[in-house]
């Protein structure tokens, strides 16, 4: 069943229904895959490998937020020096590639220029089927990069291609994006906890 599938008389009723659907969708996230994602990112931090992040629309915003929480957040009170690059943050490069080549190549062009074997690509796509994201995952897999793909709806091609697929069973963009954002925060805060002095945890803000 899709959500929403009816009109609502008031925002309180819609809010209750929305949060109910959100809780149902959260329960579909595979915690084994989430652990694999944490280990992959943690290993990349340890090895000073680069982590690239991309997505479109709301997922682009989550990609940029990923940098803040994983570069600044994880580094705070630890000795970790994460290397994180958002493939959606350089408007000049994105528009140049889109204009001169194709919007489908805006992420893969940057990856082919910057990434190396052993790096990690994180993609965020509710449909899992955005062509520019799919091409980035295909390039990464063909060039020795690990891939972590957050998806929703039917999962799309990136769900099938991913080394690690963090899938949310939901068909509402807001709900899927809310959980993708939460997964981004969960990964960042969990990884910070692995390196921070345990005596500092209760004193610090997360």
Q: The domain that contains 125 carries what CATH number? A: 3.40.50.10490
What is the span of the domain harbouring residue 106? 30-196
Q: Is residue 90 part of a domain?
A: yes
At 1 the pLDDT is 61
Which one, of 23, 55, 37, lies nearest residue 190 by Cα?
A: 37
- With contact defined as beta carbons under 8 Å apart, do 29 and 35 qualify? no
Q: Is residue 40 part of a domain?
A: yes
Coil, strand or helix at 196: coil
Q: Is residue 165 in some structural domain?
A: yes
Asked if residue 118 is part of any domain, the answer here is: yes
Asked if residue 22 is part of any domain, the answer here is: no
Instruction: Compute the Cα dihedral for 93, 97, 99, 103 and give only its sign.
Output: negative
pLDDT at 66 over 80: yes
Structural domains counted in the chain: 1
Closest C-alpha to 56, from 167, 130, 139: 130
In a domain, 203, yes or no: no
The answer as to whether 133 is a domain residue is yes
Q: Percentage of residues in the chain with pLDDT exceeding 70?
A: 100
Helix 173-195 and helix 11-26: axis angle, to 10°? Answer: 50
Q: Do the Cβ atoms of 156 and 133 come closer than 8 Å? A: no
Q: Region 27-36: what's the mean pLDDT?
A: 98
User: Is 206 a member of any domain?
Assistant: no
pTM: 0.95
Q: Label residue 142 exposed, middle or buried (CB < 10 Å: 0-12, 13-18, 19+).
A: exposed
Residue 2: per-residue pLDDT: 87
Instruction: Report the pLDDT value the prediction gives residue 86, as an integer from 0 to 100.
Output: 97
């Amino acid at each position: 069943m899709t959500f929403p599938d009816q009109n609502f008389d008031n925002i309180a009723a819609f809010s209750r229904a929305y949060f109910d659907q959100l809780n149902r969708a959260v329960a579909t996230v595979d915690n084994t895959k989430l652990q694999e994602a944490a280990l992959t990112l943690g290993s990349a931090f340890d090895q000073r490998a680069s982590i690239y992040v991309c997505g479109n629309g709301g997922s682009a915003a989550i990609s940029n937020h990923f940098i803040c929480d994983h570069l600044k957040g994880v580094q705070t009170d630890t000795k970790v020096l994460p290397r994180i690059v958002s493939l959606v943050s350089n408007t000049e490069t994105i528009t140049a590639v889109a204009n001169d080549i194709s919007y489908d190549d805006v992420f893969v062009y940057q990856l082919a220029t910057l990434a190396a074997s052993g790096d990690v690509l994180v993609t965020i796509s509710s449909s899992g089927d955005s062509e520019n994201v799919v091409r980035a995952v295909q390039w990464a897999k063909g060039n020795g990069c690990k891939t972590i793909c957050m998806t929703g709806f039917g999962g799309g091609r990136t769900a099938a291609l991913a080394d690690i697929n963090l899938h949310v069973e939901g068909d509402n963009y807001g709900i899927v994006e809310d959980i993708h954002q939460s997964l981004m925060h969960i990964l960042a805060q969990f990884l910070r906890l692995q390196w921070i002095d345990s005596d500092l945890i209760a004193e610090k803000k997360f």
